[in-house]
Structure 1
Amino acid sequence: MLHCKGIKNIWELKNDFSYSWVEPEFINSSLKLFSFSKLSKPVSEIKNKGYGFEWLLTVLLSMPFINIKSVNSMLNGHVRHQTEAGKDAFYRLKNNSQLNWRLLHWLFANQFKKIVDSKFAPQSSSPKCLIFDDTILSKRGKKIEKVSRLYDHVTKGFILGFKLLLMGYWDGYSFIPIDFSLHRERGSNKQKPFGLTRKENRKQFSKKRDKSSCSYERAAECDQSKISSVIKMFRRVISMGYKVDYVLVDSWFTCKELIDVVLSVTKNPTHLIGMYKIAKTKFSYHDKKLTYSQIRGVLGKPKRCRKLKLYYLETEVDYNGRKIKLAFSKQGVNGKWKVFICTNPRLSFIEMIEIYQIRWTIEVFFKESKQLLGLGRCQSNDFDAQIADTTITMLQYILLSMRHRIAHYESMNGLFAELSEQIIQKRLDQRLWGLFVELLNVMAMLFDNIDENEVMEKLFENDEARNMIARLFDDPNYLNIAV
């Protein structure tokens, strides 16, 4: 499944954390491009005392670009003489339950879309996609409001933290985060709800919130199911006028409720592609009610896709009164079958997989945001501060995405230009990435118990392994040195 993942530029953001990117003018020029003063006005009016919202937020947005990890380190570091406000001014901003951080996030995302639509060349025929996925934001303190123990499928252990559920938008060129919610898990142990003792739960920080406040809604989301949050986010983005061709999800989110909501869009028809794992679901196939395993058993010999180096089977089935494509794929003769549902039966198998591979961009976002922008680093006990800090990271990523788009690929006139040396390097990177993917494919084919996607996730989680791969792309001769 890793062939042609489409993330050959995976380390580009990190490479751009050079001195040219951390100049003070970067934030100023970026916020000016986004019309930040006008953009923040609907939110900043709530804060009418003390230091201005716009100034405080500008400082917070600038921190990772001047190598500052926290407000405390900023006020005790080399830039302390350049900052008039004390730490309490920044903490009060983050803890303010009246600030509508979701609105600010939406305004930034919409402004990104407006700038792209008005100043850049029209994108190719690449589909516009919404991508949903979650990741764990680990925390250290049990007293953090609404924190819980979560099962990590990568480490196969439990971690204290929040589940970040993210909705991202792929416009054919860039991925930007446009909405999110934080969740906790109650768990099955009634004696230890949320993985904590009753005493630990009682000692958690809590504060009263006005039911009409924005923070009340965000706090309530923490105990809602992730499927219901996905549906709410999807409805919001459609109501904002975003054009969406496909919704891409993994097996945790593919369900009847989401399919129904996605297919209910009539103005710009939208489809869903997702992996599927509910083994007991019955599909109508040739007037029979069969599970996907039973259907796969009657489809005969699998075909071989040379382009993707996959074996596959596909057919049309009826799912709750809707005609959908049911597809199966595996790598190697002895590989493990993966099941896909696609609500657009007209797509070929190759088209479906190539579109679904766009989902990998959200995994890149999680990794890069955690490592470069400190996503999830906030350890404040106040849940409102957790929402604020996560939103600020999203805004930083949007600003970086715009800067990257302008600096590396397109001029403001919409012209594409790169030096020949850069083109050669890009092609070399593509070949190196292809070689790397091929090695994973061979491993998955030779060893039945290896899942190439899990291997990739572990590589991204392991900084040492990731740095070795990054070094290979930066300097191909590193391979000879390492050997």
Structure 2
Amino acid sequence: MIAHPSDSNQLPNELKPVFQELKVLQYLQQAGFRKRFGFSCAQLLQLVFFLLFHQKNWFRLLESNKSDSLPGKDAVYRFLNHAGFAWRRFLTMLSVATVQKVSALTSVDRDAVFIFDDSMFERNCSKAVELLARFKDYATGAYYKGFGMLTMRWSDGHTFLPLDFALLSSRKSAINGLNEHIDKRTHGYKRRQEALQSAPQSLRPCWIVL
């Protein structure tokens, strides 16, 4: 499991080569992810990946005999929800490097495309989630609580890689509003403002870059 003193040997053997090849922790540091004390950002990110790929339950893990060497759940939630961390910068650097590695393995004549998709992100059991809104599923005609999830992906016809995403709320059908205490200078505040835009408005910066 996660050992507190060092960032080395934090992952299962099946995930170590992936992190090393894609330089995940290097991009995390370049994106400015740092903590002054406690478990490092690298350790917390690796723990999240471990739970995701091994389908482990976080609460059961804390009740196990390994709980003494693990960070508390509040430390993980603060890491994932920290408004000052530039998650988009980290994801962009990692995605670009991954696309470059894949492109080098394929023919230069193969066409590559960007794919934009607007799908549902349901949170029907949630009540206090920030910017929670009510949306209509036009496929079924039913309404759901949650967000619209706008994603940007890259594909060469065989490989399909995610590049960026935005969770979209709604001003008209909002259930919960914006946290008034968040620092307006942070990356988190900018993402919240983006969530209140329409899907075409969120795509406009991508059109300029492309």
- The normalised TM-score by structure 1 is 0.39
Deviation at 1:105, TM superposition (A): 0.6
Structure 2: distance between partners of 1:212 and 1:52: 23
Determine the C-alpha separation between the residues in 2 that align with 1:176 and 1:82. 37
1:91 match: 77
What does residue 5 of structure 2 align with? none
The code of the aligned residue for 1:169 comes to: W
| 3-state SS, counterpart of residue 24 of structure 1 | coil
Over the aligned positions, Cα root-mean-square deviation in angstroms equals 2.3
Does the CA contact (< 8 Å) of 2:135 and 2:143 recur in 1?
yes
Distance in 2, matches of 1:185 and 1:205, equals 11
Deviation at 1:132, TM superposition (A): 0.8
Counterpart of 1:62 in structure 2 is: 50
Q: How does 1:132-281 map to 2 (within 5 A)?
A: 132-139=116-123, 140-187=125-172, 193-194=173-174, 196=175, 201=176, 206-236=179-209, 238=210
Q: Deviations over 1:72-100 (max 9, x none)?
A: 343235x8448421111101101211000
**d(CA) in 1 for partners of 2:167, 2:67:** 35
Question: Aligned residue for 1:131?
Answer: 115
Match of 1:75 in 2: 62
Paired residue secondary structure (2:92): helix
Q: Give 3-state SS (helix, strand or coil) of 2:201's partner.
A: helix
Q: How many pairs are equivalent?
A: 199
Which amino acid in the other structure matches residue 208 of structure 1?
Answer: H
Determine whether 1:40 maps to 2:28. Answer: yes
Q: Measured at CA, do residues 130 and 60 of structure 1 come closer, stay the same or move farther in structure 2, by a change above 3 Å?
A: same
SS of the counterpart of 1:126? Answer: coil
Q: Aligned letter for 1:92?
A: R
What corresponds to 1:430 in structure 2?
none
Partner of 2:3: none
Cα distance 1:205–1:226, how it changes in 2: closer, same or farther (>3 A)? closer
Match of 1:109 in 2: 95
Q: Secondary structure at the match of 1:185?
A: coil
C-alpha distance in 1 between matches for 2:33 and 2:201: 31
- Aligned counterpart, 1:443: none
Map of 2:41 onto structure 1: 53
Judge conservation of contact 1:151–1:157 (CA < 8 Å) in 2.
Answer: yes
Q: Does 1:24 align with 2:12?
A: yes
Return structure 1 stretches of 4+ with deviation > 6 angstroms.
Answer: none
Deviations 1:87-119 (A, max 9, x none): 11101101211000001111110120232244x
Q: Is the 8 A contact 2:99 2:161 kept in 1?
A: no
Query: Contact 1:133–1:166 (CA<8 Å) still a contact in 2?
Result: yes
Q: Aligned pair in 2 of structure 1 residues 44, 75: CA closer, same or farther (>3 Å)?
A: farther
How far has the Cα of 1:221 moved from its partner? Answer: 0.7
Q: How far has the Cα of 1:134 moved from its partner?
A: 1.1
Equivalent residues of 1:144, 1:205 under 8 A apart: no
How far off its partner does 1:217 sit? 0.8
Q: Whole-Å Cα distance in 2 between the matches of residues 232 and 147 of structure 1?
A: 24
Separation of aligned partners in 2, 1:170 and 1:98: 31
Cα distance between partner residues in 2 of 1:108 and 1:45? 14
- State TM-score, norm by structure 2: 0.84
Contact 1:123 1:172 in 2 (8 A): no
Structure with the higher helix share, 1 or 2: 1
Cα distance in 2 between the residues matched to 1:58 and 1:176: 20
Report the AA paired with residue 142 of structure 2: G
Question: SS of the counterpart of 1:181?
Answer: strand
Q: Which runs of 5+ in 2 are unaligned?
A: 1-10
* Structure 1: runs of 5 or more not aligned: 1-22, 188-192, 239-483
Distance 2:67 2:37 in 1: 23
- Who wins on radius of gyration, i.e. which is larger? 1
Secondary structure in 2 matching 1:40? helix
User: In 1, Cα distance between the equivalents of 2:185 and 2:78?
Assistant: 20
